[in-house]
Amino acid sequence: MYGTRGSISAPLRNSQYREKIMNILQLSKGKILSSDSEINDFFNSLPDHLKFTAGGDTTCISVTSSTGKVFMVDCGTGGRVMGDELMATDLGKGKGELELFFTHTHWDHIQGLPFFKPVYIPGNKVNFYSPYPDLEDRLIKQQVKEFFPMPFHGTASTKSFTTIKRGEPIQFGDMTIDFYPLKHPGGSYAYKFTENGKSFIFATDAEFTGDDMDLIKSMSGFFNGVDIMVLDAQYTLDESFAKFDWGHTSYTMAVNCAVNWNIKNLVLTHHEPAYNDEKVFDIYEEAKMHNEYVPNSTLNILLAREGMELEI
Ligand SMILES: [Zn+2]
Ligand SMILES: [Zn+2]
């Protein structure tokens, strides 16, 4: 995962960095930290919000098939980091091909594209997929001269655009990719990757409330039994009431959806930019607590963290 923050990037600020360091130093009081292994053990004993940051970059993930083929979903500001990593592959030599899927085109899902180096390299082929017939126009608009110095088609890679259709999953070898519409202002789509009986769903930017139980049940055909699902869980329950109709879900409803759909592992993402790491990691603990009270739940919950890798 290259980008886990929702709505707008939220880098760790100096005051937050200082607070983390001061908290760690407080916890080290009286400890003997004279060897590397003592330092390591101490570090590993720290609470997650001091050991990690949830991450400041906006949505971008990659899915790698069993054959090593890389699929990218969304190009928020995390896309810059992914692009820099891909420069060490054939994409850095102008001999690469990349499949890039978009859930939707809100800023936090496309703004990394102008900084995604592989699109600038002649010889590369970048294939864009989405259910939006006008995706190309939307990406061109993002880079008109009033907003960015380099037009989208001024970049040297070869580009292709495919509009994918409901009920017509696309196939890359053994990997099948399908999608499903989500409730979100302007629309958004979940993607499901299935290969060798294993499945992964990426469903960010979706709003589910307690009033949506019929809708949630009607979606179980697509979502049922998936091994890993990354789902929008931007808000606390209170905030989801205050921000009704803003297009995002509370962590409690994210857990309820996942249990309803018999998901094995739920990954909470699209973290609220106003929340610091302590609050985001608190939400994670509260989501796990909520799950304990959901009848018959066997759900495992994880928190999306920048740089996190999961294997099915
Ligand atoms: Zn978003
Ligand atoms: Zn959105």
Q: What pTM value is reported for the model? A: 0.96
pLDDT surpassing 90 at residue 245: no
How does pLDDT run across 27-38, given as a tens digit for each residue?
A: 999 999 999 999
In this predicted structure, the answer to whether residue 244 has a pLDDT above a threshold of 90 is no
HEC string for the chain: CCECECCCCCCCCHHHHHHHHHHHHHHHCCCCCCCHHHHHHHHHCCCHHHHCCCCCCECEEEEECCCCCEEEECCCCHHHHHHHHHCCCHHHCCCCEEEEECCCCCHHHCCCHHHCHHHHCCCCEEEEEECCCCHHHHHHHHCCCCCCCCCHHHCCCEEEEEECCCCCCEEECCEEEEEEEECCCCCEEEEEEEECCEEEEEECCCCCCHHHHHHHHHCHHHHCCCCEEEEECCECHHHHHHCCCCCCCEHHHHHHHHHHCCCCEEEEECECCCCCHHHHHHHHHHHHHHHHCCCCCCCEEEECCCCCCCCC
37 alpha carbon to ligand 1 midpoint, in Å?
41
- What's the chain's average pLDDT? 96
- The answer on pLDDT for 236 being more than 90 is no
| Cα 104 to averaged position of ligand 1 atoms, centre (Å) | 8
Q: Which ligand is nearest to the CA of 247?
A: 2
Taking the CA of 182 as reference, the closest ligand is: 2
What is the whole-number distance in angstroms between the Cα of residue 8 and the centre of ligand 1? 8
Residues of the chain above pLDDT 90, percent: 94
Predicted pLDDT at 239:
85
The pLDDT value given to residue 70 = 96
Residue 270 Cα to ligand 2 midpoint, Å, equals: 10
For the CA of 246, the nearest ligand: 2
Distance 257 CA to ligand 2 centre (A): 19
Give per-residue pLDDT as tens, 86-144.
999 999 999 999 999 999 999 999 999 999 999 999 999 999 999 999 999 999 999 99
pLDDT band for 18, please (50, 70, 90 cuts): very high
Mean pLDDT for the stretch of residues 214-231: 96
Question: How many angstroms does the Cα of residue 226 sit away from the middle of ligand 2?
Answer: 23
Ligand nearest to the CA of 207: 2
Please report the pLDDT score of residue 249 as a whole number: 85
What is the average pLDDT across 211-224?
Answer: 95
Distance between Cα 187 and ligand 2 center (Å): 8
pLDDT band at 163 (very low <50, low <70, confident <90, very high): very high
Q: What is the pLDDT of residue 240?
A: 81
Quick one: pLDDT at residue 67? Answer: 96
Residues with CB under 5 A from ligand 2 (ion): 106, 205
Name the pLDDT band for 42 (thresholds 50, 70, 90).
very high
Instruction: Convert the pLDDT of each residue in 176-194 to its tens digit.
Output: 999 999 999 999 999 999 9
Ligand nearest to the CA of 8: 1
**Which tens digit of pLDDT belongs to each residue from 283-296?**
999 999 999 999 99
CA of 205 to the centre of ligand 2 (A): 5
Please report which confidence band the pLDDT of residue 237 belongs to, taking 50, 70 and 90 as the band edges. confident
Centre of ligand 2 from the C-alpha of residue 303, in Å: 19
Q: Which ligand is nearest to the CA of 109?
A: 1
Instruction: Give the confidence band of 238 by pLDDT, cuts at 50, 70, 90.
Output: confident
Domains of the chain: 57-130+132-165 (3.60.15.10), 167-304 (3.60.15.10)
| Ligand 2 mean position, distance from CA 59 (Å) | 10
